[in-house]
Amino acid sequence: MKYARFISGGRPLTGHLHDNHLIDAAGVAHDPSKVHFRLPVDPPKVIALALNFNDHAGELGLTQPKEPALFWKPNTTLLPHGGTVIYPRGAQFMHYEVELGVIIGRDARRVKAKDAMDYVGGYTIGNDLVVRDYVTNTFRPPMRGKGWDTFGPLGPYYVTADEIKDPHDLTLRAYVNDELRQEGSTRDMIFGIPELIEHISRFMTLQKDDVILTGTPKGISHVHPGDVMRLEIEGLGTLINDIQEEDNLAEPITGQESKEGEWDGR
């Protein structure tokens, strides 16, 4: 099942996708093109993975890590489908990264790889945006490069685990202004989902609704203010976000919904 959280008529709702409509709890159908999407989950934390595809490591001139190279994606980076990404003032090389997001379904601690998939609640699409200017040996882990507000779009759907036959055989694509820029498959991940859950849960508790971003394949390229990014993962839908320069935004983007449930542009 594909679930989404959204705002319609000023009300926060949750619905499932059926016949290209979002059906809320009352059975009312909503046109996905006319609602404001919210994040598919509110994750306690987001853990991302660097260099989990050999071809991506190669295009950066780096070698494959011997164990998962992890970093935090701050919750202030999170942005739903349809939200606007801020292009930081002075950035020289900013790019997208299409990634499979694994949503944890229940708390996991010291889980063995053979049991790990039982802890997966579902999947979503992630865009691990980065200003490459700041990703150097000095700035590792790459918090400054990847931790900007709005640099973590997720969505649009929470796709339950039973919907995806094999998460290790999904095609990933990223388009910029309808031009295909990046394409790969999760079958080329160095560390698979079971290994990641075992590794992470060995030293920290993975909580329900945590998100693990599993890395990106080769194909990064510079994006600019005014560009529109469209990310697709087989079976998960399409995540679309535009980019605006920081100085051109009339108001700061906070990532919070108002108390009245009105959408604030995120």
Has residue 258 got a pLDDT over 60? no
Whole-angstrom CA distances from 228 to 22, 91, 109, 217, 222 are 24, 17, 39, 20, 12
* Tokens matching residue 8: 């319609």
Residue 60 has pLDDT above 90, yes or no: no
Confirm or reject CATH 2.30.30.370 for domain 1-38, answering yes or no.
yes
Average pLDDT (237-242) is: 98
Alpha carbon distance 250, 232 (integer Å):
30
**Would you kindly state where each structural domain of the chain is located, as residue ranges?**
1-38, 39-248
What CATH class does 39-248 carry?
Answer: alpha beta
Across residues 26-49, what is the average pLDDT? 97
Residue 2, pLDDT above cutoff 70: yes
The pTM assigned to this predicted structure is 0.90
pLDDT on residue 263: 34
Is the confidence at residue 260, as pLDDT, over 70?
A: no
Report the pLDDT value the prediction gives residue 223, as an integer from 0 to 100: 97
Fold match flag (1-38 vs 39-248): no
